[in-house]
Chain A
Amino acid sequence: MKSSLRLMLAASVGVGLTLPAIAADPIKIGVIAEVSSISGAAIPNAAKLAADEINAAGGVNGRMIEIVEYDDHNSAADAVRAFQRAASQDHVHAVIASYVSEVVLALEPWSGRLKMPMITPGAASDVISHRVHEDYAANKYTFHGYMASTFLSDSVCDGVKAIAGPLKLKNAVVMSEDAAWTIPLDAEYLKCLPKIGINVMDHIRLSPDTTDFTPIYNKIEGLKPDVIITGISHVGVQPTVQWHDQQVPIAMIGISSQATSSTFYKDTNGAAEGVIYQTISAPDVGVTPKTLPFVKAYEKRYNITPAYCGYTTYDEVYFIADAIKRAGGTDPDKIVDELEKTSYVGTIGKVEFYGRDSEFTHAIKVSPEYIGGMLVQWQGGKQVTVWPNDIANAKIKFPGYIKTGTN
């Protein structure tokens, strides 16, 4: 159970960032996220950074960009209220919302009802874009600005295939949290792992409320797999620390959203050492010429490296601004039309959206040519890229207690 005794205040609580008074009406972008979590905090942070840069360069057709922040406390209901407020009170022109699939799925019908263009920088569930495909007229205002779960699994499988030889990976256990985004993720894991010659011995789904992972690791260890393939986002610190403290001798590779932030090492007291996670941008690799300057500016301003959805949010503010520029105004239907035509090279690669013919309508295109995945490992307190080989800057290295690759 979610055991927060937090007083669920009905009102979405956020801070409106007011910019100095300017002549033309500002373009307002609402940002809805859970501010007290690592991944969530990166969303408003990156959005403000992008907005300030655009404004410093003269804005969009002379109009400044104003970011209006809302904290959704990771609650779908708070997010819906924030969305309603953004539309009817604050009159924002587009919304960047959440890294949690359940929250985005709850907002999706509202984006249609209120005709409010919305894009998610971090939620993964395939259902987000499938809904756009199935009922385009109602859901066309929603865009999926992050890899859909199926693509995430494929990306992990591509990476694992490349490193399976030297690490002698043959048998795997899939361990993921019980959430909307992991349903398609796991389904694809179970399909793609056997295709690359990895036998899936077991498939464990754990409750996001789990605090004691000992029984899970015990069960996994009993099966003697070579690798644990992860799908975790709401949990992260605790399973990693317990994996380390109990010296579970099996490597963890896969999606681990919290591990993408630089504070993860400190939060886990260094237990993160050796964890390998899939991502679309890393702080040490220039995926595009824009990546490293962004990481630098973000670190300078916030003292940490951006979590994965920081990169996507930063790009989204830019291409939403471009779409509004091309649309010549803020009519929602025109913004949607222009967003569909987006072809923008950002920090994560080249952003384009799948069209109506794809079942992933309005999701970002995934392929090496557009946006590809990479594997990053925590080594000596730093995040280093270990795959793909053309951009890798380190070799995979595990702490002593991990036996993967040694037998």
Chain B
Amino acid sequence: MTNRKSFAAIAAVLFALALLPFGVSGYVLGLLTLGFYTAVFAMSWDLLFGFAGEVNFGPSFLIGIGAYTAALLNHYEHWPIWACVVTGGAASIVAGLVLAVPALRLSGPYFGLVTLVAVLMLQNIIVLFAGITGGEIGLDLPDVLSIDDSNNYWIALTFMGISGAILFGLSRSAVGLILQASGQDAMQAAALGFNVTKHKLAAFCISALFSGLSGAMLIFYEGTVSVGTVVDIAVGVQVIIAAVLGGRRTILGAALGAIFLIGAGELLRPLGEASTFVVSAIALVTILFVPGGFLGALLHGEKR
């Protein structure tokens, strides 16, 4: 597919999505709204893992910092939503820097473990200061984006569209190529004169920014913030599965995977509690037999 053709295809899909509220029920919109925010999480993660080659187990550390910063400001200081969201995104960048600067010296499982520990620490801190943060189950917010399903949907779609365009554009730019090269062979990339660490750091910050913004938006959609929605390891796992399922190093595949995961959960609703089991099984079978993910399979056929 040429760039022009895929651009046209994406524009057509986005346009069709924008018209959806005129045709489908509120709950489907609500589901997609959630899918769109999750899609931004997954795309941010893909930029870091797919291109920079770092196994980041901690997407929910960045998401959680953004979400809780925004939530606390809204709950206690009654800041307007937009200010909370922007501050949340900024806080995620700061947290991302604190985590990334020392961690990027590490590789493989060690980097993975540090990101995992970051999530556990954040979770511990939130639970420990339950008096302020609401602890395990969370804090409810005085403000919500909108109580209208269609408005929420359009807000999320716009947000995903803009984030996706920036992340995708970045991945296709020179920066993306350098990241990709460094992810596959850091030594060689460095030998070619690229400052690998600087580029990885940039990727981490951008990943952090969009994770944080999306986390903050999500909680203002739901009107509540809790460890279970934005910090728990399970949240990070879902993000990773979405990206791997949709196809790594594609950015857009990650979005596809996220929306699929959310949708599959709903389609399997009649299975009750067993639905999580089935979704995990589908994801496992996919990575075993179609390792390139949905988009990988779609774009390249069976490449390898």
- Give the interface of A toward B (CB within 8 A): 1-16, 35-36, 71, 73-78, 80-81, 84-85, 88-90, 100, 102-103, 105-106, 108-110, 113-114, 178-180, 207-209
Complex CA–CA separation, A102 to B234 (angstroms):
20
- By a CB distance below 8 angstroms, the chain A residues around B127 are 1, 178, 207, 209
Return B172 CB to nearest CB of chain A, in Å: 29
Return B128 CB to nearest CB of chain A, in Å: 8
Does chain A have a CB within 8 A of B235?
Answer: yes
- By a CB distance below 8 angstroms, the chain B residues around A10 are 31, 34-35, 38, 261-262, 265-266
The A interface is mostly helix, strand or loop, or mixed, namely: loop
Question: Would A5 and B234 be within 8 Å (CB), given that A10-B265, A35-B272, A89-B25 are in contact?
Answer: yes
Q: Mark B223-252, 1 if CB is under 8 A from A, else 0.
A: 110111100111101100100000000000
B99-150 interface (Cβ within 8 A of A): 120, 123-124, 127, 130, 134-138, 140, 144, 147, 149
- By a CB distance below 8 angstroms, the chain B residues around A108 are 140
The one of A6, A85, A179 in contact with B276, judged by C-beta atoms closer than 8 angstroms, is: A6
Contact A76 B224 (CB under 8 A): yes
Complex CA–CA separation, A78 to B228 (angstroms):
9
Complex CA–CA separation, A89 to B29 (angstroms):
10
Return A54 CB to nearest CB of chain B, in Å: 24
- By a CB distance below 8 angstroms, the chain B residues around A16 are 269-270
Does chain A have a CB within 8 A of B287?
Answer: no
Contact A100 B38 (CB under 8 A): no
Contact B223 A106 (CB under 8 A): yes
Nearest-CB residue, chain A, relative to B264: A9
- Give the interface of B toward A (CB within 8 A): 25-28, 30-31, 34-35, 38, 120, 123-124, 127, 130, 134-138, 140, 144, 147, 149, 222-224, 226-229, 232-235, 237-238, 241, 261-262, 265-266, 268-273, 275-276, 279-280
Nearest-CB residue, chain B, relative to A70: B269
- By a CB distance below 8 angstroms, the chain A residues around B237 are 5, 7
Contact B232 A11 (CB under 8 A): no
Question: Would A7 and B222 be within 8 Å (CB), given that A1-B120, A13-B276, A35-B272 are in contact?
Answer: no
The one of B123, B241, B273 in contact with A71, judged by C-beta atoms closer than 8 angstroms, is: B273
- By a CB distance below 8 angstroms, the chain A residues around B270 are 15-16
Complex CA–CA separation, A3 to B233 (angstroms):
8
- By a CB distance below 8 angstroms, the chain B residues around A100 are 137
The one of A13, A74, A114 in contact with B147, judged by C-beta atoms closer than 8 angstroms, is: A114
Return A68 CB to nearest CB of chain B, in Å: 11
Return B183 CB to nearest CB of chain A, in Å: 26
Contact A9 B279 (CB under 8 A): yes
Nearest-CB residue, chain B, relative to A180: B137
Return A113 CB to nearest CB of chain B, in Å: 5
Complex CA–CA separation, A81 to B35 (angstroms):
13
Contact A76 B137 (CB under 8 A): yes
Nearest-CB residue, chain B, relative to A84: B30
Nearest-CB residue, chain A, relative to B30: A84
Contact B35 A6 (CB under 8 A): no
Contact B229 A75 (CB under 8 A): yes
Return B237 CB to nearest CB of chain A, in Å: 6
**5 tightest CB-CB pairs across the interface, nearest first?**
A102-B137, A89-B27, A9-B265, A88-B26, A77-B229
Nearest-CB residue, chain A, relative to B135: A178
- By a CB distance below 8 angstroms, the chain A residues around B226 are 75-77, 102, 106
Question: Would A105 and B273 be within 8 Å (CB), given that A9-B261, A10-B34, A75-B226 are in contact?
Answer: no
Return A234 CB to nearest CB of chain B, in Å: 8
Contact B27 A1 (CB under 8 A): no
Complex CA–CA separation, A209 to B130 (angstroms):
13
- By a CB distance below 8 angstroms, the chain B residues around A76 are 137-138, 140, 224, 226, 228-229
Contact A8 B272 (CB under 8 A): no
Most buried by A among B31, B136, B149, B279: B136
Contact B222 A2 (CB under 8 A): no
Nearest-CB residue, chain A, relative to B268: A13
Contact B272 A80 (CB under 8 A): no
Question: Would A80 and B222 be within 8 Å (CB), given that A9-B261, A71-B273 are in contact?
Answer: yes
Can you name 28 A-B pairs with beta carbons within 8 Å?
Answer: A1-B127, A2-B123, A2-B227, A4-B232, A6-B276, A8-B232, A9-B265, A10-B34, A10-B266, A11-B266, A11-B269, A13-B275, A14-B272, A16-B269, A35-B272, A75-B228, A75-B229, A76-B137, A89-B27, A102-B136, A102-B137, A103-B137, A105-B140, A106-B137, A109-B140, A110-B223, A178-B130, A209-B127
